[in-house]
Chain A
Amino acid sequence: MHLLFYSFLVGSIGSFASLVLTKKYRNKFASFCVVLEGLICSYESLSIISSGKTTTFNSNQLLPFFGIRLSLDPLSAYFILITSLLAIAVGIYQLGYIRHSTKAKTPTFIYPFFFTSMVLVPISNSVATFMASWEIMAITSILLVLTDHAKNNNSGHATQWYALMTHLGAASIFIGFLILSLGTKHQQFSSIVMSSSSLSTIEKSLAFFLLFIGFASKAGATPFHVWLPRAHPQAPSPVSAMMSGAMVNLGIYGIIKTGMTLIKVSEGWWWIVVIAIGTISAIYGALQCVTNSDIKKLLAYSTIDNVGLMIIGIGASGLLATAKDEKFALFMISGVLFQMLAHSIFKGLLFLSAGSIQYSTGSLNLDQLGGLLKKIPLTSTCLLIGAFSISALPPFSGFSSEWVLFEGLFRSILHLSGVNRLAVLFGLSGFALASGLTATAFVKTTGIGLLGVARSSHAETAKEVPPTMLFSTFLLALSCLVIGIVPGYFLKLTMKSSQLLFPAKKLSPNFKYGSIDLPNLATNIDPLLLLVLFTIALLMILLLLKAAIKRKVRITNSWGCGNEYSNSKTQYTATSFAEPLQRVFADVIRPDQDLVVSHVEESRFYVNNITYSNLSQDSIERFVYVPIKRAVTTWGKFASQMQNGSTHRYLSLGFIVLLIVILVLS
Chain B
Amino acid sequence: MTVFSFTTSLLQLIFILACAPLLNGIMLKLKARAERRVGPPIFQTFFDLAKLFKKERLRSQNASIFSALAPVVLISSTVVVIIVSPILSTQELFKTSGDLFAIVFILLVGSLMIALLGLDPGTPFGGLGSSRAMTISSLSEPALLVSIVAISIQAKSTNLSTIVSANLSHPIWLVSPPHLLAIFALLIVIFAEAGRIPVDNPATHLELTMIYEAMILESSGEDLALIKLGEFMRFTLLLLIVANLFFPFGIDTQANWIQLILSSGISLIKLTILGSLVTLLEVTQAKLRLFRVPELLAGAFVLAVLAVISEFVA
Determine the residue in chain A with the shortest Cβ distance to B66.
Answer: A451
Stretch at the interface among B98-106, B173-181, B246-254: B98-106
CA separation between A524 and B80, bound complex, in Å?
17
Given A428-B149, A443-B134, A560:B125 Cβ within 8 A: yes
CA separation between A414 and B127, bound complex, in Å?
41
- B131 on the interface (CB 8 Å rule)? yes
In the bound complex, residues from chain B placing their C-beta under 8 Å from that of A558 are: 60-62, 121-123, 218
- A440 on the interface (CB 8 Å rule)? yes
- A370 on the interface (CB 8 Å rule)? yes
Given B96, B105, B134, B217, which contacts A561 in the complex, CB threshold below 8 Å?
A: B217
Quote the shortest CB–CB distance from A323 to chain B (angstroms): 15
> Binary interface profile of B, 275-298, with partner A (CB < 8 Å = 1, else 0)?
000000000000000110010000
Given A436-B140, A440-B138, A447:B119 Cβ within 8 A: yes
Determine the residue in chain B with the shortest Cβ distance to A429.
Answer: B142
Question: Which parts of A366-408 form the interface with B (CB within 8 Å)?
Answer: 370-371, 373-374, 388, 391-394, 399, 403, 406-407
Determine the residue in chain A with the shortest Cβ distance to B135.
Answer: A580
> How many B residues are at the interface, by size bracket?
35 or more
In the bound complex, residues from chain A placing their C-beta under 8 Å from that of B131 are: 572, 576-580
CA separation between A338 and B312, bound complex, in Å?
30
Given A433-B142, A448-B119, A537-B79, A554:B57 Cβ within 8 A: yes
In the bound complex, residues from chain A placing their C-beta under 8 Å from that of B122 are: 370-371, 451-453, 558, 565, 568, 571
In the bound complex, residues from chain A placing their C-beta under 8 Å from that of B155 are: 522
In the bound complex, residues from chain B placing their C-beta under 8 Å from that of A321 are: none
The SS class assigned to the A binding surface is helix
In the bound complex, residues from chain A placing their C-beta under 8 Å from that of B62 are: 371, 452-453, 558
From A391, A428, A521, residue with most partner B Cβ within 10 Å: A428
- A124 on the interface (CB 8 Å rule)? no
In the bound complex, residues from chain A placing their C-beta under 8 Å from that of B115 are: 443, 447
Stretch at the interface among A114-122, A206-214, A538-546: A538-546
- A584 on the interface (CB 8 Å rule)? yes
CA separation between A568 and B121, bound complex, in Å?
11
Report yes or no: B99 in contact with A525, Cβ–Cβ below 8 A: yes
Report yes or no: B124 in contact with A524, Cβ–Cβ below 8 A: no
Determine the residue in chain B with the shortest Cβ distance to A549.
Answer: B222
In the bound complex, residues from chain A placing their C-beta under 8 Å from that of B79 are: 533, 537
CA separation between A403 and B105, bound complex, in Å?
10
- A482 on the interface (CB 8 Å rule)? no
Question: Which parts of A334-378 form the interface with B (CB within 8 Å)?
Answer: 370-371, 373-374
Quote the shortest CB–CB distance from A437 to chain B (angstroms): 5
Question: Which parts of A492-546 form the interface with B (CB within 8 Å)?
Answer: 515-517, 521-526, 529-530, 533-534, 537-538, 541-542, 545
Given A403-B101, A436-B138, A565:B127 Cβ within 8 A: no
In the bound complex, residues from chain A placing their C-beta under 8 Å from that of B140 are: 436
In the bound complex, residues from chain B placing their C-beta under 8 Å from that of A548 are: 53
Determine the residue in chain B with the shortest Cβ distance to A392.
Answer: B105
Question: Which parts of B108-148 form the interface with A (CB within 8 Å)?
Answer: 108-109, 112, 115-116, 118-128, 130-132, 134-135, 137-142, 144-146
> Binary interface profile of B, 222-266, with partner A (CB < 8 Å = 1, else 0)?
100010000000000000000000000000000000000000000
Given A393-B105, A432-B142, A440-B137, A523:B153 Cβ within 8 A: no
In the bound complex, residues from chain A placing their C-beta under 8 Å from that of B157 are: 521-523
CA separation between A421 and B308, bound complex, in Å?
10
Given B57, B80, B127, B146, which contacts A553 in the complex, CB threshold below 8 Å?
A: B57
Report yes or no: B159 in contact with A523, Cβ–Cβ below 8 A: yes
- B310 on the interface (CB 8 Å rule)? no
Given A373-B64, A394-B109, A561-B125, A447:B53 Cβ within 8 A: no
In the bound complex, residues from chain B placing their C-beta under 8 Å from that of A440 are: 134-135, 137-138
Given A554, A565, A579, A584, which contacts B56 in the complex, CB threshold below 8 Å?
A: A554
Report yes or no: B146 in contact with A428, Cβ–Cβ below 8 A: yes
Question: Which parts of A37-83 form the interface with B (CB within 8 Å)?
Answer: none
Question: Which parts of B63-116 form the interface with A (CB within 8 Å)?
Answer: 64-66, 68, 72-73, 75-77, 79-80, 83-84, 94-97, 99, 101-102, 105-106, 108-109, 112, 115-116
Given A429, A525, A556, A557, which contacts B96 in the complex, CB threshold below 8 Å?
A: A525
- A489 on the interface (CB 8 Å rule)? no
- B207 on the interface (CB 8 Å rule)? yes
- B58 on the interface (CB 8 Å rule)? yes
In the bound complex, residues from chain B placing their C-beta under 8 Å from that of A290 are: 138
- B59 on the interface (CB 8 Å rule)? yes
Report yes or no: B127 in contact with A577, Cβ–Cβ below 8 A: yes
> Binary interface profile of A, 555-586, with partner B (CB < 8 Å = 1, else 0)?
11111110001001011100011111101100
CA separation between A371 and B60, bound complex, in Å?
13
- Interface size of A by Cβ–Cβ distance < 8 Å? 83
Question: Which parts of A423-445 form the interface with B (CB within 8 Å)?
Answer: 425, 428-429, 431-433, 435-437, 439-440, 443-444
Given B73, B95, B108, which contacts A524 in the complex, CB threshold below 8 Å?
A: B95
Report yes or no: B158 in contact with A526, Cβ–Cβ below 8 A: no
Determine the residue in chain A with the shortest Cβ distance to B93.
Answer: A533
The SS class assigned to the B binding surface is helix
In the bound complex, residues from chain B placing their C-beta under 8 Å from that of A559 are: 58, 60, 123, 217-218
CA separation between A393 and B156, bound complex, in Å?
25
Given A440-B137, A551-B57, A534:B156 Cβ within 8 A: no
CA separation between A576 and B119, bound complex, in Å?
12
Report yes or no: A571 in contact with B124, Cβ–Cβ below 8 A: yes
CA separation between A523 and B96, bound complex, in Å?
8
In the bound complex, residues from chain B placing their C-beta under 8 Å from that of A4 are: none
- A16 on the interface (CB 8 Å rule)? no
- B309 on the interface (CB 8 Å rule)? yes
Report yes or no: B128 in contact with A572, Cβ–Cβ below 8 A: yes
Report yes or no: B59 in contact with A413, Cβ–Cβ below 8 A: no
Quote the shortest CB–CB distance from B77 to chain A (angstroms): 7
Report yes or no: A529 in contact with B102, Cβ–Cβ below 8 A: no
In the bound complex, residues from chain A placing their C-beta under 8 Å from that of B66 are: 373, 451
Quote the shortest CB–CB distance from A9 to chain B (angstroms): 45
- A422 on the interface (CB 8 Å rule)? yes
Give 9 closest A-B pairs by Cβ, nearest first.
A572-B127, A436-B141, A436-B138, A447-B119, A452-B122, A432-B145, A560-B123, A537-B76, A526-B96
If A406-B158, A444-B134, A584-B294 are given as contacts, then 15 extra A-B residue pairs at C-beta distance below 8 Å, sorted by A number, are: A393-B109, A428-B145, A429-B301, A436-B141, A447-B115, A447-B116, A451-B120, A522-B159, A522-B162, A545-B72, A553-B58, A556-B61, A557-B60, A561-B207, A565-B123
What residues make up the interface of B, taking CB atoms closer than 8 Å to A? 53, 56-62, 64-66, 68, 72-73, 75-77, 79-80, 83-84, 94-97, 99, 101-102, 105-106, 108-109, 112, 115-116, 118-128, 130-132, 134-135, 137-142, 144-146, 149, 152-153, 155-159, 162, 207, 217-218, 221-222, 226, 290-291, 294, 301, 305, 308-309, 312
What residues make up the interface of A, taking CB atoms closer than 8 Å to B? 290, 370-371, 373-374, 388, 391-394, 399, 403, 406-407, 410, 413-414, 417, 421-422, 425, 428-429, 431-433, 435-437, 439-440, 443-444, 446-448, 450-453, 515-517, 521-526, 529-530, 533-534, 537-538, 541-542, 545, 548-549, 551, 553-561, 565, 568, 570-572, 576-581, 583-584
A-B contact pairs, 12 of them (CB 8 A): A290-B138, A393-B109, A436-B139, A440-B137, A452-B120, A526-B97, A529-B96, A549-B222, A555-B58, A556-B60, A559-B58, A576-B131
